Amino acid sequence: MTQSDNPESHNSSPLPEPVRSAMRDYNRPPRLGAAESDAMWSAIERDAFPRRFSSPSAEHRAYGGERWLSARNLLPLAAVLLVGVVIGRFALPRKSAAPVSVAVRAPATDSVGVPELYQSTASRYLGQTAALLVSLPTEARGGHADARFLGRAHDLLLTTRLLLDSPAAADPRFRTLLEDLELVLAQVIRLPSDQSPAELDLIRQALEQRDVLPRLRSAVADISADD
């Protein structure tokens, strides 16, 4: 132990209150906002879990760089998903004209299978998403919604993508549902920039054409029954 490390060799009385008070302002941190936190997470995710990203060099970590969730990136993603869904609907043979539901699509079993570890998260997520989508027509009157509603949609979109990358999406029925929800939620968070009732109609059509809400309710019931 050095002289300076000897606890007996120094007076350890606290500094006077005015000094301590001034000290608390030393590099006082600002509050970390949700958007900043999400942006940092995107950079961390790219570095620590690079599977989803095909060109890590272009998206190398740097705060202030392009965000994965930016509208510029969501648009092509939504377009790709939409094209995929449309191709799937018209190119693949359909056995039934009945609404496409989790149960109808299931080749072997009638229920969505989610690993036990994810059941609680998936169940909570599905319940919140169902609630959000049910309240969409009321919340988004006139084609735009308030910031709180959009914040919830943004969080749910993030969770959707995390679930898509997790083993929970191994079940093809659950995966398809997540992909449709990703598309719908991506449309919902674009509402403030569009400010047009037509956009809300498009979302409503997407929900109806894909039977999203019945499939969502069915998945909630399946996972709750497994819980």
Partner 1 sequence: MNREPELIARVVAGDRLAARELYDAHVDRVFRLAFRFAGDADLARELTQETFIRAFAQLGRFRGDSALSTWLHRVTISVVSNAMRKVKRFRTRETDLDAAAPMIAESPSADPDLRERLHRAIDELPEIYRITLVMHDVEGYTHEEIANVLGVAEGTCKSRLSVARAQVRQKLAPFAKEWLE
Sole window of 21-29, 83-91, 129-137, 185-193 interacting with partner 1 (rule: CB under 8 A): 21-29
Q: Give the amino acid at 122.
A: A
Return the SS3 of 192: helix
- Between CA 187 and CA 74 the distance in angstroms is 9
Asked if 170 contacts 163 with a C-beta cutoff of 8 angstroms, the reply is no
Closer Cβ to partner 1, 8 or 93, answer by number: 8
Asked if 164 contacts 103 with a C-beta cutoff of 8 angstroms, the reply is no
Asked if 190 contacts 199 with a C-beta cutoff of 8 angstroms, the reply is yes
Q: Is 90 in the site for partner 1 (CB under 8 A)?
A: no
| Cβ-proximal residues to 218 (8 Å cutoff; 6+ apart), any chain | 101, 102, 103, 112
Applying CB under 8 A, among 11, 54, 55, 96 the residue interacting with partner 1 is 11
Measuring CA to CA, how many Å separate 57 from each of 22, 36, 47?
44, 22, 10
Sole window of 76-84, 99-107, 154-162, 204-212 interacting with partner 1 (rule: CB under 8 A): 154-162
Applying CB under 8 A, among 166, 202, 204, 221 the residue interacting with partner 1 is 166
Sole window of 43-51, 68-76, 86-94, 203-211 interacting with partner 1 (rule: CB under 8 A): 43-51
**Hey, what are 139's tokens?**
């919340």
Applying CB under 8 A, among 66, 110, 146, 165 the residue interacting with partner 1 is 165
x/- string (CB under 8 A) for partner 1, residues 47-66?
xxx-x---------x-xx--
Task: Compute the chain's Rg from CA coordinates.
Answer: 24
Instruction: Catalog residues that contact partner 1 under the rule CB under 8 A.
Output: 1, 4-7, 9-16, 18-20, 22-27, 29-30, 32, 36-37, 40-41, 43-45, 47-49, 51, 61, 63-64, 117-118, 121, 158-159, 162-163, 165-168
